[in-house]
Structures are given as C-alpha cells and as structure tokens.
Amino acid sequence: MVRKYSHQLTAGISFGLTTAVITSLGMIVGLNSATSSKLAVVAGVIVMAIADGLSDSISLHTSEESEIRKGKAEHTKKEIWLVTLFTFLSIFCFTLTFVVPILLFPLKNAVLVAITWGIFLLIILNFYVARIRKENPIKLISEHLLLAIFVIIISYWVGTLIRIWFG
C-alpha cells in the first residue's frame, strides 16, 4: 500500500513538515518576543498543531479535489483523503516536536534549540527532495532556509512591536 500511495505520503509529509517547521518557528519566536512567557509559547504551539494542521490539510484536500484534467478528476477520493490524513498527521506531529525543547530548557535557550531543530528538519527534507528531483541540494536547501529565516525575522519584529504597543 505504501508504494501504491507513495505520492500521497510524500506530498503530505513534505508539505506538512515544511509548514510545521516554518509556522512553528514563526509562532515560537513571535510569541517569545511578545510575551517571554513559556506558557504562552507552549499553548500557542499546541493550539497551532491542531488548528493549523486541520486548516492546512482541509485546504490541501480542497486543492486536490479541484485538480481536473481533461474534464475528469485528477485524483481518486481515496488519494485525496490519504493526502489529507498524511498532511494533518505530519503537521500535528512535527509541530508537537517543537514543544519538547520549550519544556526542557529555559525559554531563551529553547527558542535557539527550536530554530536549530527546524533548520535541521528543513535541510534533511530538502536534501531528500533534491535527490528525488536530481537537483542541486544546496540550491533547494538555501532557498527554503532563506524563507524560514525571513519568517523568523518578521515574527521576531512583529512580536517585539506587539510587546511595545500593547505590553
């Protein structure tokens, strides 16, 4: 079954891991810079694991349903539901891994550990994808790391501005 539905598994995990990492890092860095509260950061990440996981998997489900080729559905119902399930589980599980450093370390250290963990996950995923596509892994890894760093920087400054304006 895994081989038959490997596209759905790969699509769900690659999308789920990427969104889990980038959204988690943005949430962790932004909430930390806004509140410096371990409770707020943990709660934000756990709520996000559920809400973002459901939202993104339902969005991907709808996107897959809308793919039509030559007047016919591109994917079967089973393929669509498998992508939906794999995406949700991937987002949910990978997002929850970011709670671990927050529980184990002081918040400032946990943020750095989470960033390191997220970068590691993105490197591994993009190296794998580059190998499948027979592309230069450095280019693909660099592109996605730059996007993640951009999200981290924006989230930090937005959190800081929220703390200044409302704190």
pLDDT digits (tens, 9 = 90+) for 16-59: 999 999 999 999 999 999 999 999 999 999 999 999 999 999 99
| pLDDT tens-digit series, residues 49-101 | 999 999 999 998 898 888 888 888 888 888 889 889 989 999 999 999 999 99
Q: What is the reported pLDDT for 92?
A: 97
Secondary structure (3-state) at 1: coil
Q: In the structure encoding, which two tokens stand for residue 155, read together?
A: 């989230």
Rounded CA-CA distance 93/85 in Å is 12
What is the pLDDT, as a whole number, of residue 23? 97
In angstroms, the CA 106 to CA 153 distance is 21
User: 11 pLDDT band (50/70/90 cuts)?
Assistant: confident
Angstrom distance (rounded) from CA 81 to CA 135: 30
Contact 115, 30 (CB under 8 A): no
* Amino acid 18: pLDDT: 95
Query: What per-residue confidence (pLDDT) applies to 3?
Result: 64
* 52, 91 Cβ separation under 8 angstroms: yes
Q: Which phi-psi region, left, alpha or beta, contains residue 134 (left: φ > 0; alpha: ψ -120 to 50)?
A: left
